[in-house]
């Protein structure tokens, strides 16, 4: 087959190190197969799944189930993180040695930061010993409890108690100190506040082994989105204000935020249709990430195209030590073709994901993944 790629970008397959594929436990939201279809349609050839499934990915058995299902049913490479504590409850450390042996690429407190300092300390020590990065969700759940949106003008207007920035920043600061103390590699997920970005910048300057990610919704939208999108704009950590968005963009531009990751978090329309306070947090992101990266960052001149592609490919791959990040002669190719000029309107009915929870529906984007090859097989093609 000959492909005319005139005017198109041929890049290494994109890598998303933060997705929620909901299997086992919530097949109505997403399965590993449908999540992988969504990834392929978004140009992603490798993903790292988060363990807030049911049961959570806290035993070798469940981890092996996810990896096996990925191999058997997914159109893309499926890697997995493992829960740092049983049930993600923060009371007892999981068997990190065995989970690493079984293929976990990172340990995480996913969605519910471990609060007991003894336990956090032990987890960081173990992660340092095993040289496995810790992916930290960074949220003090005592502080953020009860809120749905960033605490500010909009939350007050909508009668929501609000989520203070401090709830995120306290744990970012804490975890950077634990990483500094133990030598563990720390990866901070979905950074949303200006001071959070600054804490990471300072940690890096001190030589702490800390990396971090920015999510498309956090570099594109502010909390005002909730005024029109309601619970579709409800996500953890919340959409913040213009100043925070600018800081996340600046952090991506100066390398403080190493990676663009989607935090693809599918939920059913029934759940998202509930009143704001009762609707779950999260939005799908795999199929809009390329468009948002080009539209919000590259076309406005905030991030070079090369940096954008690196943050979606080689950098996340290297952080998680994925084989797809290796350049080896004879390795079957993971390749993505992006049409940078393609203008399109987000239509959530067309998503390959099982879920449609996005605040970007109807938004006009410029740039789209149009062809995806995984291990030498074409898994998505709209050329
Ligand atoms: C995620 C989910 O739904 O699993 N939700 C979210 O708002 N981001 C959990 C998480 O990453 O915190
Ligand atoms: Zn999270
Ligand atoms: Zn997440």
Beta carbons of 150 and 226 less than 8 angstroms apart: no
Q: What is the pLDDT of residues 42-64, one digit of tens each?
A: 999 999 999 999 999 999 999 99
Can you tell me the distance from the alpha carbon of 311 to that of 293, in angstroms, rounded to the nearest whole number?
10
Residue 338 in contact with residue 9, Cβ under 8 Å? yes
How many whole angstroms separate alpha carbon 72 and alpha carbon 369? 24
Active site residue 110: no
How many other CB atoms are found less than 10 A from the CB of residue 230? 18
User: Ligand 1 atom 11: the closest Cα is on which residue?
Assistant: 111
User: What average pLDDT does the segment 281-304 reach?
Assistant: 98
Residue 26 has pLDDT above 90, yes or no: yes
Q: List, in order, residues 6 or more apart from 263 with CB less than 8 Å away.
A: 18, 19, 20, 189, 190, 215, 217, 235, 282, 283, 285
pLDDT band at 1 (very low <50, low <70, confident <90, very high): confident
Atom 7, ligand 1: which residue's CA is nearest? Answer: 282
Q: Is the pLDDT of residue 236 over 90?
A: yes
CA–chain centroid gap for 269, Å, is: 21
The bound ligand whose nearest atom lies closest to the alpha carbon of 21 is 1
Cα angle for residues 200, 17, 89 (degrees, 5° grid): 80
Tell me which residues have their CB closer than 6 angstroms to ligand 1.
Answer: 20, 52, 111, 137, 235-236, 263, 265, 281-282
**Average pLDDT for 72-92:** 97
pLDDT score, position 325 = 53
Q: Which atom of ligand 1 is nearest to the CA of 137?
A: 12
Q: Which are the contacts of 261, defined by CB distance < 8 A and separation ≥ 6?
A: 16, 17, 18, 189, 190, 213, 214, 215, 316
- Reduce the DSSP state of residue 348 to 3 states and report it: helix
C-alpha–C-alpha distance, residues 27 and 43, integer Å: 23
CA 85 from centroid of its chain's CA atoms: 20
Coil, strand, or helix at residue 210? strand
More confident residue, 110 or 297: 297
Residue 211: is its pLDDT beyond 70?
yes
**pLDDT, mean over the chain:** 97
Instruction: Look at residue 303 in the predicted model and tell me its pLDDT.
Output: 98
Residues 325-375 pLDDT 10s: 556 677 778 999 999 999 999 999 999 999 999 999 999 999 999 999 999
Give the mean model confidence (pLDDT) for residues 13-37. 98
Q: Take atom 12 of ligand 1 and give the residue whose Cα is closest.
A: 111
User: Which residues line ion ligand 2, judged by CB < 5 Å?
Assistant: 137
Write down the residue that tokens 């050329």 correspond to.
Answer: 383
The CA angle 338-340-344, to the nearest 5 degrees, is: 95
Average pLDDT, stretch 200-215? 98
pLDDT computed for residue 186 by the predictor: 98
On the CB side of 312, CA atoms within 13 Å amount to 33
Which residue owns the Cα nearest ligand 1 atom 5? 282
Name the token pair of 117: 């300092």
Report the residue among 265, 268, 271 best suited for mutation to probe ligand 1: largest number of ligand atoms under 8 A from its CB.
265
ipTM over the 0.90 cut-off: yes
DSSP-based three-state secondary structure for 163: strand
Are the CB atoms for 335 and 44 separated by under 8 Å? no
- In this prediction, residue 323 carries a pLDDT of 82
Structure tokens at 241: 């204000």
Atom of ligand 1 nearest to the CA of 52: 4
227 alpha-carbon distance from chain centroid = 24
Q: Please, which pLDDT band fits residue 251 given cuts at 50, 70 and 90?
A: very high
318-326 average pLDDT score:
82
- Distance of alpha carbon 46 from alpha carbon 321, whole angstroms: 12
36, 138, 359, 303 alpha-carbon torsion, rounded to 10°: -80
Kind of pairing between the strands at 377-381 and 364-374: antiparallel
What distance in angstroms lies between residue 376's CA and the mean position of ligand 1's atoms? 32
Instruction: Ligand 1 pocket test: pick from 281, 283, 353, 354 the residue with the most ligand atoms within 8 Å of its Cβ.
Output: 281
222-226 average pLDDT score: 98
Q: State the pTM of this model.
A: 0.98
The pLDDT value recorded for residue 324 is 63
Q: 3-state class of 113 per DSSP?
A: coil
pLDDT over 80 at 127, yes or no: yes
Neighbour-count burial of 117, counting CB atoms closer than 10 A to its CB (0-12 exposed, 13-18 middle, 19+ buried): exposed
pLDDT range class, residue 88, cuts 50, 70, 90: very high
Task: Enter the tokens of residue 330.
Answer: 């004879």
CA–centroid distance, 325 to ligand 2, in Å, is 24
Q: How far is the CA of 162 from the centre of ligand 1 (A)?
A: 17
The pLDDT of residue 48: 98
Catalytic member of 23, 223, 263, 334 = 263
| Count of C-beta atoms within a 10 Å radius of residue 139 | 22
Q: Residue 41 in contact with residue 369, Cβ under 8 Å?
A: yes
For ligand 1, atom 9, the nearest C-alpha belongs to 111
pLDDT at 327: 60
pLDDT tens figures, 163-207: 999 999 999 999 999 999 999 999 999 999 999 999 999 999 999
């Amino acid at each position: 087959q000959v492909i005319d790629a005139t005017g198109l970008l041929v890049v290494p397959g994109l890598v998303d190190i933060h997705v929620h594929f909901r299997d086992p436990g919530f097949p109505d939201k997403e399965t590993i197969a449908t999540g992988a279809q969504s990834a392929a349609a978004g140009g992603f050839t490798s993903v790292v799944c988060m363990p807030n499934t049911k049961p959570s990915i806290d035993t070798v058995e469940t981890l092996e189930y996810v990896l096996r299902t990925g191999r058997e049913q997914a159109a893309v490479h499926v890697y997995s993180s493992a829960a740092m504590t049983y049930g993600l409850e923060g009371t007892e450390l999981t068997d990190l040695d065995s989970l690493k042996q079984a293929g976990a690429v990172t340990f995480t407190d996913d969605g519910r930061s471990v609060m007991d300092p003894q336990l956090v300390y032990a987890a960081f020590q173990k992660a340092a010993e095993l040289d496995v990065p810790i992916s930290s969700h960074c949220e003090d759940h005592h502080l953020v409890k009860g809120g749905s949106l960033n605490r500010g003008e909009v939350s007050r207007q909508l009668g929501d108690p609000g989520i203070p920035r401090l709830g995120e920043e306290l744990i970012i600061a804490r975890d950077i100190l634990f990483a500094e103390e133990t030598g563990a590699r720390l990866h901070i997920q979905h950074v949303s506040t200006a001071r959070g970005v600054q804490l990471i910048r300072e940690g890096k300057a001190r030589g702490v082994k800390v990396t971090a990610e920015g999510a498309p919704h956090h570099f594109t939208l502010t909390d005002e989105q909730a005024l029109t999108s309601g619970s579709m704009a409800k996500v953890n950590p919340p959409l913040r204000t213009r100043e925070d968005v600018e800081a996340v963009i600046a952090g991506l531009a100066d390398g403080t935020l190493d990676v663009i990751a989607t935090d693809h978090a599918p939920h059913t329309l029934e759940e998202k249709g509930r009143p704001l306070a009762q609707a779950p947090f999260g939005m799908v992101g795999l199929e809009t990430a390329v468009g948002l990266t080009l539209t919000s960052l590259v076309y406005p001149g905030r991030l070079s195209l090369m940096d954008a592609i690196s943050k979606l490919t080689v950098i996340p791959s290297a952080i998680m030590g994925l084989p797809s990040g290796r350049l080896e002669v004879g390795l079957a190719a993971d390749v993505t073709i992006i049409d940078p000029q393609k203008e399109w309107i987000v239509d959530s009915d067309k998503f390959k994901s099982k879920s449609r929870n996005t605040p970007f529906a109807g938004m006009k984007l410029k740039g789209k993944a149009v062809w995806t090859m995984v291990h030498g097989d074409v898994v998505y093609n709209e050329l």
